[in-house]
Amino acid sequence: MTWLYLLLAVAVVATLFIVVSRRSQQRTATELADALADARQVNERLGGQIYNLTGTDDASRQALVDASERHLAAGSQLDQSRTPTQARLARQTAIEGLYYIRAARTAMGMDPGPTVPELEGRSAAGTVSEDRVIDYEGRRIAASPNPSRSTPNYYPGGRVAGRPVPAGWYSEPWWQPALVAGAWGIGSALLFTSLFSGMSGVGYGAQGFESGYGEGYQDGLDAGGSDQASDPGGDPGGGWDGGSGGDWSGGGFDGGGGFDGGF
């Protein structure tokens, strides 16, 4: 009888395990389907905006190029998504693209259009609040809150290779090497300090930049975040490596760390 009870107990435990496992799989499948549908909706919105706009100057044309890159990257990430987290990364890449659309419209003197969901890490990274020009390693680097011939490169703000980059218009995409390589080079903190020291919209200095801290975020980590870029998304903000598998943490367009949020 003892063996019979033991066998019954084992059978009950095995049955419960199978039921719980199946429910978990069903829940994950549902979450993935919902996340994929949400990400596709955002990326389709981005694609429609791209195809309906034509740049009229260097700043708007460059912003549209960046938006197109995020659109393609988000599509690639969607094709490779096997988990809800990966689908949300793709969604954040598409959201970053929508910020570039708004930038392009602004550069052309148009209404920026509907609001865009907040990009993770964007508010923590701060915003360029004044015109600034520095000499760095034999070249002049400018930052501005507005597009111009001298500042045609927009960045929506967020985290690149684990460090905050303020939203604004720049003479060159000085964050690009870190976006591609996934790591900042020697001297990046000096560049950051020279460009943003004392700027009211950027509430942290070289030490905060090196530590990955953003304005108002003292632990240096975005809530639930991962480093994207575009990635690209995510990418980003976040750079996006377009690789298969994994959760793209450290990849993606790093527009804002991990790619969550509502739409």
The rounded distance, in Å, linking the Cα atoms of 78 and 151 is 32
The rounded distance, in Å, linking the Cα atoms of 105 and 234 is 22
Q: Which residue has the higher pLDDT, 217 or 26?
A: 26
Please state the domain extents for the chain: 2-211
| Residue 87, amino acid | A
The rounded distance, in Å, linking the Cα atoms of 45 and 70 is 12
Residue 206 has pLDDT above 70, yes or no: no
Q: How far apart, in Å, are the Cα atoms of 190 and each of 95, 122, 206?
A: 30, 22, 7
Question: Using an 8 Å Cβ cutoff, are 177 and 157 in contact?
Answer: no
Q: Find the length of the chain.
A: 263
Question: Using an 8 Å Cβ cutoff, are 74 and 93 in contact?
Answer: yes
Percent of the chain having pLDDT more than 90?
Answer: 54
The rounded distance, in Å, linking the Cα atoms of 77 and 79 is 5
Please state, rounded to an integer, the average pLDDT across all residues of the chain.
80
Question: Using an 8 Å Cβ cutoff, are 227 and 233 in contact?
Answer: no
Q: What is the pTM of this model?
A: 0.73
Residue 128 has pLDDT above 50, yes or no: yes
The rounded distance, in Å, linking the Cα atoms of 49 and 239 is 23
pLDDT of residue 232: 36
To the nearest 10 degrees (0 to 180), the angle between helices 2-51 and 58-80 is: 160
Q: Please state the rounded mean pLDDT for residues 184-196.
A: 91
Q: Which residue has the higher pLDDT, 217 or 16?
A: 16
